[in-house]
Structure 1
Amino acid sequence: MNYLDEFLLIAIAHFFAVASPGPDFAVVLKQSVQQGRRNALWTSAGVGVAILLHVGYCVLGVALILTQSPNLFIALKYLAGAYLAYLGVQALRAAKPPENTSDAIENKTVLEESVWLAFRRGFLTNALNPKATLFFMSLFTLVISVTTPTSVQIAYGVYMALATWVWFSMLSLVLSKPGVRGFFQKSGYWFDRGIGVSLIALAIRVVI
């Protein structure tokens, strides 16, 4: 109870951060529409686990190092921008979805084999997101008191990881519904290109 006010402040700040459009949302949307529910849920899990990475380096004090080393943070920004641009180019080059039964079966097999890739995509998108880095740096240096025990800080981190996973899993369940997927897929190549352009725009925004 001693840390309830601090936790509520963290929970509110985290909700607005995770609900705002960004690279995580764009990737989960792309996976939900193009790959389906199972793939999108694994991508969401990757995003959630990446939160623990941010919490980990903040608890260990690496966040302080990042704030004192502009060159290191700039390098992180360029790395994140390159990764988002890579995802954007992939979306622009996406092939037309299969239309006949045999192709659908083949696509299902590929989907089952790409679970790890889906998880990795979600993890890297969040882990390399400077917006997430800035958020957690601010949270652990300005909101969370230096007197807060490490165990309590870790508990905050676990909550944020679980809340992030639940949020994007809920989005995955909604966006991967047949009606919603069908709506987006009606655009065919145009949807792929729209997602690709959005990711590349996010990459540019991250860098500048």
Structure 2
Amino acid sequence: MMQYWPEFVILFTINALNVLSPGACFAVTVRNSAVYTRKVGVLTALGIAASSCIQKSYVLLGFGLFLAKNPTLFYIVKYVGCAHLIYLAFCCFKNSKKKIKPLSIGHALPHNQLSSFAAFRSGFLTDTLNPQASLGFMSIVVATVSPTTPISVQILYAVPLILTATLWYTTVALFFSNSALRTWFTKIQHWFERLMGSVLIGLSIRLAMITART
């Protein structure tokens, strides 16, 4: 097992840098944590982690390569992902027009509270409908993992990689749902929603442009 350690260290390091880079999942986690409750933020993070688990599993099993070699299916998934980001941006701009009252510690902002399932689904779909995530991970695996590495070992690799995503997005959720931060947030909520909406639209446009060039 020790013979695979150098390979794993390289894979883990590159994947961690990829996870830490801001993107749609980061934006959605920040937004749900600040706008709603800590529970909503953490469930959003867990949704992302669940999607990450599935994506990493099917990449290691070869489905990511299948998706990459089927342009029609690949484009459909990408454009559905773009549409989902635009929908999330629309929700942000819609909420930015609503006036809110100062919140009590431990309570969500009063408008449009998210159910536990909706929060989990928000994170899960944001990551799942972003094929760049799976293809990005696939490129990392191809670049760092030897074809001779057994699947059983690669599955062991996946465990700490998934835990990294879980820890990172949960930490983001806990930070942005901090009671003091959220009390201050009530004063700038409408600007924050517009910023998050703009970020999500920008990410959607970037994904669409990358798709059009491929």
Per-residue deviation, 1:176 = 1.1
- For 2:92, give the aligned amino acid: A
Change (3 A) 1:68 1:108: closer
Q: Deviations over 1:15-46 (max 9, x none)?
A: 11011110011001101110121110111111
Q: Give the AA of the match of 2:205.
A: I
Shift of 1:53: 1.4
Partner of 2:189: 188
Deviation of 1:164 after TM superposition, in Å, equals: 0.4
Q: Any stretches of 5+ residues in structure 2 without a counterpart? A: 210-214
Q: Write out aligned runs for 1:128-207 (5 A).
A: 128-207=129-208
Inter-partner Cα distance in structure 2 for 1:132 and 1:105 = 30
Q: Give the direction of change, closer, same or farther, for the CA distance of 1:108–1:196 in structure 2 (3 Å limit).
A: closer
Q: Is the 8 A contact 2:37 2:108 kept in 1?
A: no
The two structures have a TM-score, normalised by structure 1, of 0.89
Distance 1:38 1:12 in 2: 29
How much has 1:182 moved relative to structure 2?
3.0
User: Shift of residue 140 of structure 1?
Assistant: 2.8
Contact 2:88 2:200 in 1 (8 A): yes
Q: Deviations over 1:71-108 (max 9, x none)?
A: 2222221011000110010111113334488xx68949
Q: 3-state DSSP class of the match of 1:147?
A: coil
Inter-CA distance 74–18: structure 2 relative to 1 (3 Å threshold): same
User: Residues of 1 paired with 2:189 and 2:170: CA distance?
Assistant: 24
Equivalent of 2:100 in 77, 97, 100: 97
TM-score normalised by length of structure 2: 0.87
Cα distance change on mapping 1:141 and 1:197 into 2, 3 Å: same
Q: 1:183 to 1:66 in 2, by over 3 A?
A: same
Q: In structure 2, do the counterparts of structure 1 residues 109 and 186 end up closer, same or farther at CA, with 3 Å as the change threshold? A: closer
For 1:115 and 1:92, locate their aligned partners in 2 and report how far apart those are by CA, in whole Å. Answer: 22
Q: Percent identity?
A: 36
Q: Residues 173 and 106 from structure 1, CA distance in 2 versus in 1: closer, same or farther, beyond 3 angstroms?
A: closer
Provide the residue aligned with 2:88 in structure 1.
87
For the 8 Å contact 2:40–2:116, the answer to whether it is kept is yes
Displacement, 1:174? 1.2
Return the letter of the residue paired with 2:123.
G
Partner residue of 2:25?
Answer: 24
Distance 1:106 1:182 in 2: 10
User: Quick one: structure 1 residues 186 and 106, their matched pair in 2 at CA, closer, same or farther if it must change by over 3 Å?
Assistant: closer
* Deviation (angstroms), 1:109: 11
Cα distance in 2 for partners of 1:63, 1:57 equals: 6
Whichever residue aligns with residue 128 of structure 1, its letter is L
Q: Distance in 1 between matches of 2:110 and 2:58?
A: 39
Change beyond 3 A, Cα 1:194–1:159? same
Contact 2:41 2:173 in 1 (8 A): yes
Query: CA distance change for structure 1 residues 207 and 106 in 2, over 3 Å: closer, same or farther?
Result: closer
CA 1:161–1:97: 2 relative to 1, 3 Å:
farther
Q: Which residue of structure 1 aligns with residue 212 of structure 2?
A: none
| Contact 1:44-1:119 within 8 A present in 2 as well | yes
The alignment of Structure 1 onto Structure 2 pairs a total of residues equal to 204
Q: 1:116: which partner in 2? A: 117
Q: CA deviation at 1:200?
A: 1.3
- The Cα RMSD (Å) is 2.2
**Corresponding letter in the other structure for 1:3:** Y
Partner of 1:77: 78
